[in-house]
Amino acid sequence: MADILVKNKKEQNRQRILIAVFVVVLIITLFVLWWGFLKPQTPTIYVGNSGGGNSQYGEVRIDFNILENAFLKELLPFKNIAPLQNNLGRDNPFLPLVENGENI
């Protein structure tokens, strides 16, 4: 008889723990849904130039003076590479390779 009561208490404790875990997961899920989807969105205000154009990003300015840097002037262009002399590759590289009548 005592054995049955101990099993019932263990089963009740297990059920309580499972219910608590379920409630915590449910609260987290509801919070994520509210925070990600249901929360009222605050409007985004972009401040930019008032003279037309793309007011989201403002005016775009490119500083070409960086190209006058001494480090960049020391760079050399690539040498020209001569085309290959041998006929390399296959006529259609997408066809499967066949050797002795079998695909490789």
**2 domain-assigned:** no
**15 domain-assigned:** yes
**45 domain-assigned:** yes
- What pLDDT sits at residue 88? 76
> What is the span of the domain harbouring residue 25?
8-75
**60 domain-assigned:** yes
Q: Is the pLDDT of residue 29 over 70?
A: yes
User: Taking the complete model, does pTM exceed 0.85, yes or no?
Assistant: no
Q: Render pLDDT for 64-84 as a digit per residue (tens, 0 to 9).
A: 888 888 888 888 888 888 887
Q: Is 17 helix (H, G, I), strand (E, B) or coil?
A: helix
Task: Round the average pLDDT of the chain to a whole number and report it.
Answer: 79
Query: pLDDT higher for 61 or 19?
Result: 19
Q: Can you tell me the mean pLDDT for 43-52?
A: 58
Distances in Å between the alpha carbon of 41 and those of 27, 29, 35, 36, 46?
22, 19, 10, 10, 15
Q: How far apart are CA 47 and CA 62, in angstroms?
A: 20
Q: Is the pLDDT of residue 86 over 60?
A: yes
Query: pLDDT higher for 20 or 78?
Result: 20
Q: How many domains does the chain have?
A: 1
State the alpha helices, DSSP H only, in the chain.
2-33, 70-73
Query: pLDDT higher for 45 or 98?
Result: 98
**93 domain-assigned:** no
**101 domain-assigned:** no
**82 domain-assigned:** no
